[in-house]
Chains A and B, each alone.
With several copies, the nearest count.
Chain A
Amino acid sequence: MIKFTDVQKYYGSFHALHDINLEIKDGETVVLIGPSGSGKSTLLRTINGLETVEAGQLLVDGQDVASSKTNLNKLRTNVGMVFQHFNLYNNKTILENIMLAPKIVLKRGDQENRAVAERLLERVGLADQINKYPSQLSGGQQQRIAIARSLAMNPLAILFDEPTSALDPEMVGSVLDVMKEIAANPAYTTLVVTHEMDFAKAVSDRVIFMADGQILEDAPTDKFFDHPETERARKFLSQVEHH
């Protein structure tokens, strides 16, 4: 589904991603962890072309994201993304948020579009909020809407960038519940950047550990948490689990 080969990414002269080699298979659930500034978000954002890569090859669903011939807008309909700050459209209602992209990108008919949206809102437990605006909902609710908005495009893969770190602690659970369901579904390839170690342990098949723009470890979940290979990862784990 996703394949990085010797990918490099620079911000100006800053080398943000070093020699990334990584393959993620269809239906896999992978968690990406590492200290702040290690390049997790950057890596995630290269996958749907929100950031360009300077060298190497990055294949997503068989298409080369780095190539100027690739239609990024088309590719993005297959790769959903959920952001730390939700990024719901503030000027649209919940229902409109979900229906906008299917309508103008997929040209999905109104009736079907609405039916899909309502079913998804049901699934994330927010069927009663369809006519509200994002600012009228709590963070946890907004994030679940954002997930529904991604699902409405019938993506093959979904990227989560710290989806719970902007939430009040009591809101985290409801969002993680929705995410667990997605992770468990083999129809979706799921890639999650998170600091929720319990969640990572519970749902992921594999853990990628990054530091300083490099992938330091790439291991099955149990193996990573039980026997981290690098000193850097051990230190990191001890810090986040410290309290």
Chain B
Amino acid sequence: MIIKILTDNWQPLLTGFGYTIGASILGLIGSLVLGTVFALMEMTPQPLIRGIGKALVEFFRNIPLLVITLFFYVVVSHVLKINGFWAGTLALALYTSAFIAECIRGGVNSVDPGQMEGARALGLNYTQAMMQVVLPQGFKLALPSLGNQFINLIKNSSILSFVAGLDLMYQANVISGANLDPFNTYIVIGIFYLLLTGPLSVVMTKLENKLGGSN
């Protein structure tokens, strides 16, 4: 049954797999960049920038990804000509960046304050101490939670199916609408998602144990 679904639909499945991977990678890059910017904004001593950073993060964390996606798809697309794939991917990057910002901030906050003091006591200024000593350690501490965000991002890319983003979930609906076998079709699609998220989650667990163990 499952084999038949694979052989009958290898083309849409492969397309879907490709679009899901594409959206995930683009989403990851976008959200890492944006998330780091948000995190730095949230940590600056400058109150206005800090306020804006916090507000943006809170905003995107607290509304559903679907709402952001639909907004891009039906409203923003009037202005920028973007199709479902790009609407979904942009929404994904924006939404995820709020979580990434929190991970990075959490990582930096959990660096022993003695590290900052040690550097300041030797005459390094705040920026030097941050860039040379604290931020590199913060990133490392944030790695496990960043990894989890990446897994969430892959799963959340299924949002593209709402806006005809051609991803795996979209193909699942097309295929099961045609073969009337949702049971096996969704299992096949589930396996495809696990192919992406499973290994990553194993790596993340290992990493968490390793970092947790050495501290």
Contact = CB atoms under 8 A, between A and B. Distances in A.
A77 B124 CA distance: 9
B34 interface: no
B214 interface: yes
Interface in B98-151: 112, 114-115, 117-125, 128, 132-133, 136-137, 140
Contacts of A89: 115, 118-119, 132-133
B117 A76 contact: no
Given A73-B125, A90-B137, A91-B140, A50 B115 contact: no
Nearest to A135: B214
A242 to B, nearest CB: 27
B150 to A, nearest CB: 23
B120 A50 contact: yes
B132 A90 contact: no
A87 interface: yes
Contacts of B112: 85, 87
A104 interface: yes
Q: What interface size band does chain A fall in?
A: 20 to 34
Interface residues of B, number: 19
B113 to A, nearest CB: 9
Interface in B133-176: 133, 136-137, 140
A76 B214 contact: no
Nearest to A101: B122
A48 interface: yes
Interface in B198-215: 214
Interface string A53-94: 000000000000000000001111100110101111111100
B132 A100 contact: yes
12 contacts: A73-B123, A74-B123, A80-B122, A85-B114, A86-B114, A88-B118, A91-B136, A100-B119, A100-B133, A101-B122, A105-B122, A153-B122
Interface of A: 48, 50, 73-77, 80-81, 83, 85-92, 100-101, 104-105, 135, 146, 149-150, 153
Interface of B: 112, 114-115, 117-125, 128, 132-133, 136-137, 140, 214
Given A87-B117, A91-B133, 12 more contacts: A48-B121, A73-B125, A76-B120, A85-B114, A87-B121, A88-B118, A90-B137, A91-B140, A104-B124, A105-B123, A149-B122, A150-B122
